[in-house]
Amino acid sequence: MPIAEMAEAFAAGLHQVLAPGTFGLMLFGIALGFAVGILPGLGGPTTLALMLPFIFTMQPVEAFAFLLGMAAVTGTTGDITSVLFGVPGEPTTASTIVDGHPMAKKGEAGRALGAALMSSLVGAVFGALALAAAIPVVRPLVLTFGSPELFMLAVLGLTFVASLSGEAVVKGLIAAGMGLMLATIGLDPISGTERYTFGQLFLWDGIGLVPITIGFFAIPEIIDLAVQRSAIARSTVGKLGGVMEGVKDTFRHFCLVIRCSALGAYIGVIPGMGGGVSQWLAYAHAVQSSPRRERFGKGAVEGVLGPGAANNSTLGGNLIPTVAFGVPGGVMTAILLGAFTIHGLVPGPSMLTPESRGGHLSLTFSFVWTIVISNLVTVTICFLFLRQLAKVTQIRGSVLTPPILLLVYLGAFAEKNAIEDLLLVLIFGAIGWAMEKLRWPRPPLILGLVLGPLAENRLFLSVDNYGAAWLWRPGVLVLIAITLIGALYPVFKRYLLRREQPAGHAAVRTLAFDRTALFTLAIVAATAWALWESRGFGLRAGLFPWAIGFPLLALGILQLFFDVTRMGQHAGTRSPEPAPEIPPAVLATRTVAAFGWILGFPLAIWLLGFTIGGVLCTLLALKIGSRERWPISLAIAAGAWTFVYGVFVEALHVPFPPGALFAWLHVSVP
């Protein structure tokens, strides 16, 4: 590609981002990212999923400026909570606690925050530049890939995510297979055959990414917030001083910051790794490269600089396989891939081709500019309002849960304007909560759901064009080998660890059938039923369900055997479960109450409509469920009604149903 075309697209990307409408939406996304990063428990992926319904009416550059502006800053602001309170604002900022919080305890909170914010800015800019530099390199590689290689890349991405599920590699593979099977629900795009629709018209288009993602990630977090019933931060903030000293530390250890930024970008390119992995690798590198390792864990500034740089450069690396191959680098980019689908964009050559040739290269470069500008704005605001931002963490979880629940159901409805999607939120919220409690990995399922349609299309084209010969293409063989290594390496590692155990710690098997085994049995039964139903689909409609269903059934039976026999446990090595902070009886009561409100919201919405039922349920949840004072409850309920009516009814013109009760009474509701 000529350099002139690249430079023109690079400048066009900046011009698009700085357009007033796009820039305003980016600032709005940054503001949401601020709140999400500072408040523990919400999570970047959760909020990103909640915001997907808002992008339907936006232009592509506006949508990605809004979403990327939000995603780019959650790690930066999450460091504030990690340093001040020892509670990670985001999972990707957990390693900042190790040295950042001890610095705060020693009266160096300002220095730790200055170091975290400036290293985050350097890391974000490095990751964005890595994305820009990769574009001319990956484009020739992408053009050499055919359908077989693209299908195997999707499988590779899912396998990498599954293999990073700790010791639960089989569970990760099963979760990925579940996501792929869920993606087959609806009408087959070629033959028009109905697949797993249960005769329901609203399932003909498949199950939406938005309600499932919202239910999967938001509902478990809401339950946790409702159960805890405490202030998010349980300590007060002392005096913040020495911020500029932390900024100077960034440049004193600039080589370390650059090395950790490069490490984060590199880890981000590998599908499934993400900031959760890169932060700890960067921390380990900071320790190993220091001549005074004994300082770490007690307040070493290098322990803040390394993770701060790495977890912010990871997003730029994550976007490289996402844009080039349609393989998400992590959960957040998997949700962003859903935004590609919403706007009819296909990752691959078109995203790396200039507009003059029918591509979207300037849009890709706008991603680079959005990451850079978002982090510049965020770090500037953080430096100006650190003290005020710290006070936000004092908000109680009980105040947050009712309005967030309303937003969950608003977002789920707005994708298709279908009240049935509220039921999907409930179903997949319960499944997501169960998977979290039973320690099943959730990201592989979401990635499988996102990649399912692309993988199915590429598998059909591979079989249709090459027959079985596509399996012997050199690129496919290389990717199969890498996939097998990624899947088997954790198993091999566990085998080696077992062999190193003393003789008295040999593996034992004890027969037991508990809730974990029951959940696995439900998966096996559902997979067997899906395969039985697919017997009449025909070759085109049944190819993908068969290719996924039979391995999924085999893996499910294997995992059921592990669960029932407790295979892999070692005598004398199991650590006792930590005693819960909340008594079990109280925990059970609060959990049931949380589920009651989660079920009550869609019921009230169905009976009375969103503008009346949703807002009324918000008020009751605040006053009765959270026991808030009347002024606070009324103020939040009024704000919720203003938001619902102003944004959804007036601005977006969402056709809310009037409510079943009013329909029965033949009463017209404005």
Number of domains in the chain: 3
Q: Are residues 63 and 108 in the same domain?
A: yes
DSSP state of 300: -
Burial degree of 232 (CB within 10 A; 0-12, 13-18, 19+):
buried
Which residues of the chain carry a pLDDT beneath 50? Answer: 41, 231-234, 393, 568-579
For residues 532 and 387, membership in a common domain is answered with no
Sign of the torsion formed by the C-alpha atoms of 25, 27, 30 and 34: negative
Instruction: For residue 559, give its domain range.
Output: 509-573
Contact by Cβ (8 Å): 268, 329: yes
Let me know whether 389 and 536 are in one domain. no
Q: Does residue 432 form part of some domain?
A: no
Is residue 346 assigned to a domain? yes
578 occurs within a structural domain = no
DSSP string, 44-95: HHHHHHHHGGGGTTS-HHHHHHHHHHHHHHHHHHHHHHHHHHSS-SSGGGTT
Closest Cα partner for 644 from 596, 604, 598? Answer: 604
Q: Which residue has the tokens 């995203």?
A: 351
Residues 308 and 166 reside in one and the same domain = yes
pLDDT of residue 571: 36
pLDDT in tens, 600-659: 999 999 999 888 999 999 999 999 988 888 999 999 999 989 988 887 777 667 788 888
Pick the last residue of a domain from 501, 517, 542: 501
Q: Is there a domain that residue 464 lies in?
A: yes
Do both 631 and 495 map to the same domain? no
- State residue 42's pLDDT score: 54
Under 8 Å between Cβ of 124 and 451: no
Q: Say if residue 557 is in the same domain as residue 448.
A: no
Does residue 625 sit in the same domain as residue 603?
yes
CA–CA dist 140, 615 (Å, integer): 53
Last residue of one domain, picked from the residues 480, 501, 522:
501
Q: Give me the pLDDT at residue 3, please.
A: 77
As given in the structure block, the two tokens for residue 499 are 């062999």
Query: How long a stretch of residues is the chain?
Result: 670
Return the pLDDT at 161.
62
Question: Using one digit for the tens of pLDDT, what is the confidence trace for 545-557?
Answer: 999 999 999 999 9
Is 406 domain-assigned?
no
- Return left, alpha or beta for 544; rule: phi > 0 is left, psi -120 to 50 is alpha, else beta: alpha
Residue 536 maps to a domain: yes
Q: Which of 152, 231, 17 is nearest to 473 (CA)?
A: 152
Phi, psi of 194 (to 5 degrees): -75, 135
The closest of 313, 304, 309, 312 to 246, measured between CA atoms, is 304
User: Is the domain of 238 the same as that of 145?
Assistant: yes
Tell me what pLDDT residue 572 has. Answer: 36
Based on the domain organization, do 353 and 490 belong to the same domain?
yes
Question: Residue 568: what pLDDT?
Answer: 46
pLDDT at 265: 87
136 lies in some domain: yes
Q: Hey, CA dihedral for 153, 158, 162, 164, is it positive or negative?
A: positive
- Distance in angstroms (rounded) separating the CA atoms of residues 523 and 585: 29
Give me the pLDDT at residue 202, please: 85
The answer as to whether 484 is a domain residue is yes
Looking at the fold, whether 231 and 340 belong to one and the same domain comes out as yes
- Whether residues 471 and 561 fall in one domain: no
pLDDT at 599: 93
Q: Render pLDDT for 331-364 as a digit per residue (tens, 0 to 9).
A: 788 788 888 888 888 888 888 888 888 788 898 8
513 and 495 in a common domain: no
Based on the number of CB atoms within 10 Å of its own CB, is 577 exposed (0-12), middle (13-18) or buried (19 or more)? exposed
**What is the structure's pLDDT at 346?**
82
Average pLDDT taken over every residue of the chain: 81
